Structure 1
Amino acid sequence: MPDEPPRRPPRPPTSQDLEDYEVMEPSDSLSNEPPGTDPLDRGVATPERWSAGMRFGTTDAEQRQGESLDQHLAEEEPDTALDGVDKEQAELDAELPPGLAGEDPGDEDVDGLLLDDPEPRAGRLVAEDEGAHPAEEADLVAHDAGISGGAATAEEAAVHVVPDDDYDIRSGDQDGEDGEAWDEYEEYERYEAGEDEGDD
């Protein structure tokens, strides 16, 4: 057999982009640094502020001890956003009467107040016969039996007290031009009969 040249071991696959991750020599760099300075030899410029690792509470003993009140107060920052508001409020207070100056409706504690007074609940309406006795009343009449246990069904909660209106058409208090009580049903009957057609 003729002598064959020795085979080389296969080369691992390489990428042409690997050159982008290599550290360039200072002479090959296009930076503005003077030649001969190695970028890896430069020191690190520390920031001009305290490091978070140097603050209080990084050790076990400090964490068990906790920060004192003076340390908490030293960490507080003043709220400068309200300085201009105080000046504007002082100018507005100067225009008000002496009794009203300095009062702000927003300062009142309204957490426990309701925005609107709730309507009084009517409770449970019970008929005179209570649904178990023969009806002695021809009309549908019921009385308020009060709230049962403080909880009401949806139907009971929908019932509310309507105050008497001075101009309720059912009470006969609203008078017409002739001084007689105005009746809605009589007006409707006159309209149906065509008596009001010429009254324009």
Structure 2
Amino acid sequence: MPTEARGDDVYQPQDVGQDPPNDDLDLENALGERGLDDQLDEGYSPPERPLGVDKYGTTGEEERRGESLDQRLAQEVEDVEPPDGDGIGDLDDGEGEPLEPEEGETRSGRLSPADDVPGRRTDVYANDVGIDGGAASAEEAAVHTTDEEEDQGRQG
């Protein structure tokens, strides 16, 4: 076999650019696409227990006769009322939810960063600029002011 005919003389089709490669996946290879393939290929999982087998109307005679009003009313389920509350601070004449002992009683307003405050870099200082007409976010409403004397006696 001559050495010149090693692969150069093998037929190679010319690429004229008319049919670019199609990278679309067919439905058999697509992941997470339920219902696109045939139902038989996907399979079927039956429910854990038979549904409706013991209900009225499964036989032809029961279906022709129909269900009486008493039978229908016996199937009704009562509406479940949500609980009124957790029982803490829910009394009509009570003072509301109890305050945490660490929490101050006066609510802070909007906080803005304090300028030129000495301290460590991990400390956070802010100025109270007042309540914004009651339109505080939940995070802002949760901030309360404590006295410095109380703060110093606390371990933390």
Same fold (TM over 0.5): no
User: Looking at CA atoms only, which structure, 1 or 2, has the larger radius of gyration?
Assistant: 1
More helix by share: 1
Larger RCO of the pair (alpha carbons < 8 Å, separation 6+): 2
Instruction: Give me the TM-score of the superposition, normalised by structure 1.
Output: 0.21
